[in-house]
Amino acid sequence: MANATIRDVAREAAVSVASVSRVLNGHDNVRPELRQRVEAVAARLGYVPHAGARNLSLSRTGSIGVVLPDLHGEFFSEILRGMDREASARGLQLLLTNMHADADSGIVALKAMRGRVDGMVVMAPHVDADELFAHLPPSVPAVLVNCAPHHQQRAELHVDNAGGAAVMVEHLVASGRRAIVHIAGPAGNIDADERRRGYVAAIERAGLEPRIVEGDFQEESGERAARALLADAVPVDAIFAGNDMMAIGALMALRDAGIDVPGRIAIAGFDDIPLARFVTPSLTTMRIDIAALGMRAVARLTDMIGGGTDTQIEQTMPQLVVRMTTAIHN
């Protein structure tokens, strides 16, 4: 039957519409013989439940909201790839928005999502999180990813940025580097601030002098920083950038200037975006399994939408990946 309805199934199976709904929605309080009869009739008629009506009956939208600080760059494409993979496996759709650089845009994004999604994944490393989450009702399930400090009782995923930065500095020191410069991400961004803090602490433990050049997580700022370092008379034998894109920018600038990497200057980054292994020489970095981070956020959110309670803070320690840009310095 073309465009068969739930009423057609109920009539052919000689049961009520409510009984058909219980069967097709997987309720347990249905007799086995009734379930078998309804499913057989639905298959014979070619009945396909209307997703919108089904979601309405379950008070669900079948969508989850994702609020990110940006959509540009390999980090965000990777985390979205992970989120989409997990959401698709669970029969959910992603509704995506970008909060740009300020809390006001984030507030607008959160308000736009309300009533249109069953829950939200929010990544806000660069804004006042308490101001932002004042517009996220406690009744809305949410998972927070690498958000700035706040007073919310929410499910959270955090990367140990400070610990990862310290591991990278220790690696550079162990490979013979002593004049290690950090290209920092934007001030006020929690990821950038924590990586800066980890760098300074590890450098001081090694008895060395910290030296920081400001960047903004974009490739161009890494290029500018590297050129400024080359123009400066102060020695440098290693650059540790706050993310891979700045490290790649620095690598391009040094290569254009004819600087031997890693012979004269070693370079390291943070995140392990896919491009890190393909540049020449390949980039040493701190690996975050970015796609897995996105998958984990969606998995935890889906469990909460299903009725689970989750206020745990889950911490992930990045892993050192040594590649050609930090070969042993003799």
The residues facing 238 across adjacent strands are: 180, 266
Instruction: Tell me how crowded residue 51 is: count the other CB atoms within 10 A of its CB.
Output: 12
Residue 116 has pLDDT above 70, yes or no: yes
What band does 148 get if pLDDT is binned at 50, 70 and 90? confident
3-state SS of 35-56 is HHHHHHHHHHHCCCCCHHHHHH
Could you identify the residue written with the tokens 């249109």? 116
Q: Which helix (H) or strand (E) holds 97?
A: strand 93-98
3-state SS of 208-262 is CCCEEEECCCCHHHHHHHHHHHHHCCCCCCEEEECCHHHHHHHHHHHHHCCCCCC
Average pLDDT over residues 272-277: 95
Residue 47 has pLDDT above 80, yes or no: no
Computed over every residue of the chain, the mean pLDDT equals 90
The residues facing 241 across adjacent strands are: 183
Q: Which helix (H) or strand (E) holds 301?
A: helix 290-305
> pTM of the predicted model, to two decimals?
0.78
Q: Which pLDDT tens digit goes with each residue over 204-246?
A: 999 999 999 999 999 999 999 999 999 998 899 999 999 999 9
CB 177 within 8 A of CB 203: no
Average pLDDT over residues 97-110: 80
Classify burial at 124, counting beta carbons within 10 Å of its beta carbon; exposed 0-12, middle 13-18, buried 19 or more.
buried
